[in-house]
Amino acid sequence: MPTSISIKLAALHQEADAKEPIRRLSNEANSIESGPKRRKREAQVLNPKTALFFYAFLPQFVDPARGGVEEQILLFGVLFVLLASCTDCLYALLSSMVGNILSRNGYIRRVQRYVTGGVYIALGITTAIVGSEKK
């Protein structure tokens, strides 16, 4: 009996050693992801097109008689971002609720399967036709 236990422990130890490089790679991948995600956020925040939009759109709502123009533009920009965040969260919640309702209904799941298959077939046929015309 002690030999079978020691064999099992040795096997578990080897299995854990085999998984260690995978864990290390997974941790490295997670740390690498943080770099591109950070750069993406920085690009979104520092995007000059966003600033140009705000400076082109918001001044029509600014009243110089009510205080500093820059402060009003900043306030309107913050309000715009807050409202956009609220609507985005609302869309996400509603789509999640609708998705849960649709996924529980067996009939809708079957119809969805056939519609999805039909779309893939139509895309394949379209690709075949367009691809043959380019030759």
Shared-domain flag, residues 8 and 39: yes
Indicate whether 75 and 114 sit together in one domain. Answer: no
Identify the three-state secondary structure at position 77.
helix
Largest CA distance in the chain: 91
Per-residue tens of pLDDT for the chain, all 135 residues:
455 555 555 555 565 555 555 555 555 555 555 677 788 777 777 778 877 887 788 888 888 898 888 888 888 888 988 999 999 999 999 999 998 888 888 898 889 899 999 999 999 999 998 877 666
Based on the structure, what is the number of domains in the chain? 3
The residue written with tokens 């770099």 in the block is: 35
Residue with tokens 């999805």: 116
Do 111 and 100 share a domain, yes or no? no
* Residues 20 and 62 occupy one common structural domain: no
- Given 16, 31, 46, the domain boundary residue is 46
2 and 36 share one domain: yes
Contact, 59 vs 73, CB < 8 A?
yes
Q: Whole domain around residue 110: which residue ranges?
A: 106-135
- Is residue 4 domain-shared with residue 35, that is, in the same domain? yes
